[in-house]
């Protein structure tokens, strides 16, 4: 998967004209890249399209049109695009009740390191978390984390060969798993992999 360049972005004027249609396309795409693990934890897998949408929205909201500022946005969001042998995801802990959420974030310290993805009979892959900045304190974790899952060529090959993909979380206070990833989501994620040969 290639990173985004200036030429891939719409001008503010052009984006305003196509925003509704583009947003609809992205929302449909995102449905195939959302994996809920239990009732309160969700992985949102990013790719070039989701990051283009994020950048376009930032440019629109901030009214950014100068080259240097646009390049800063590209530098911020391009690292979240997978590069052929990994998946990159925004991990969110979601609780409707504020008090419940605050208590959960205290209990779930370190949860982002206990998320796993397994391809066929290969070893589970655990993420490299929050490379951009520290998102937890000694007292609690954050509700949002950025994760990178790195896969071996063997894992990539098996995934492309239609192997079963499972995901889960092994934390003292949150233990959930998905035995078989839904097929449409699986296809979307496997498309992030380049040919391992």
* DSSP state string for 142-195: -SEEEEEEE--HHHHHHHHTT--EEEEEEETTEEEEESS--HHHHHHHHTTPPP
Report pLDDT for 132: 66
The pTM (predicted TM-score) of the whole model is 0.90
Contacts (Cβ under 8 Å, ≥6 apart) of 142? 105, 135, 136
Report pLDDT for 51: 95
* DSSP state string for 53-110: HHHHHHHHHHT--SHHHHHHHHHHHGGGS--SSEEEEEEEE--SSHHHHHHHHHHTTT
Report pLDDT for 18: 96
Three-state secondary structure call for residue 125: strand
Structure tokens at 147: 């994760």
In the chain, which stretches have pLDDT less than 50?
Answer: none
Q: How far apart are CA 111 and CA 123, in angstroms?
A: 19
């Amino acid at each position: 998967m290639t990173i985004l360049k200036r030429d891939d972005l719409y001008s503010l004027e052009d984006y305003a004209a196509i925003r509704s249609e583009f947003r609809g396309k992205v929302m449909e795409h995102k449905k195939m890249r959302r994996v809920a693990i239990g009732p309160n934890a969700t992985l949102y897998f990013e790719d070039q399209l989701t990051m283009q949408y994020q950048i376009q929205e930032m440019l629109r909201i901030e009214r950014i049109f100068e080259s240097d500022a646009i390049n800063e946005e590209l530098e911020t969001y391009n690292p979240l695009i997978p590069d052929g042998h990994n998946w990159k995801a925004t991990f969110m802990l979601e609780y409707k009740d504020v008090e419940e959420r605050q208590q959960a974030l205290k209990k779930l310290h370190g949860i982002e390191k206990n998320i796993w993805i397994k391809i066929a009979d290969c070893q589970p892959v655990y993420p490299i978390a929050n490379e951009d900045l520290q998102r937890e304190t000694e007292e609690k974790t954050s509700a949002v984390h950025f994760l990178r899952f790195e896969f071996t060529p063997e894992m990539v090959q098996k995934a492309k060969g239609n192997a079963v993909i499972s995901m889960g979380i092994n934390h003292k206070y949150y233990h959930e798993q998905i035995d078989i990833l839904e097929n449409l989501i699986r296809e979307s994620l496997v498309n992030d992999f380049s040919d391992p040969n």
